Amino acid sequence: MSEFTICSINLINEAKVTAVRNVTPPEAILVRLAETFKVLGDPTRVRILHALSLEELCVCDIASLLGTTKSAISHQLRLLRSLRIVRHRKDGRIVYYSLDDSHVGNLLREGLSHITSQGELP
């Protein structure tokens, strides 16, 4: 390993460690956060979420947009609903989906901003 990747002495700054420990969320919340990021690791789900960040859509709309089946979209939406990333509302026989709250949209925008600011995309 490079000398710059690990400390060459064993010195712990207790004040910093305590300060960080005091504001670190409980383990259950960190696990939920990791699950959320894991779900966002799938390109199809990111495409769904991006679409829903722009417009409330039904399963048929999303399937058409992504060029896939309603069954495949329903499966993804079920997972996203279970993590409270998307929500639904019924209007007669049609079920419309949207992002659960503005935080999800903010996460997507921040991620896109981070990627596009690096100038590596075509």
Q: Are 40 and 49 in contact (CB under 8 A)?
A: yes
Helices and strands in the chain: count of H runs, count of E runs: 6, 3
For residue range 85-102, what is the model confidence (pLDDT) as tens digits? 999 999 999 999 999 999
Rounded Cα distance between 3 and 47, Å, is: 41
Number of folded domains that form the chain: 1
Per-residue pLDDT of the chain (122 residues; tens, 9 = 90+): 455 677 778 889 999 999 999 999 999 999 999 999 999 999 999 999 999 999 999 999 999 999 999 999 999 999 999 999 999 999 999 999 999 999 999 999 998 999 898 876 66
Residue 30 C-alpha from the chain's centroid? 14
Element (H, E) at 73: helix 70-82
Sheet of 57-58: strand order equals 57-58, 94-99, 86-91
Flag whether 121 is in a domain: no
What is the predicted pLDDT for the residue at 14?
Answer: 95
Asked, for residue 43, whether it belongs to a domain, the answer is: yes
In a domain, 7, yes or no: no
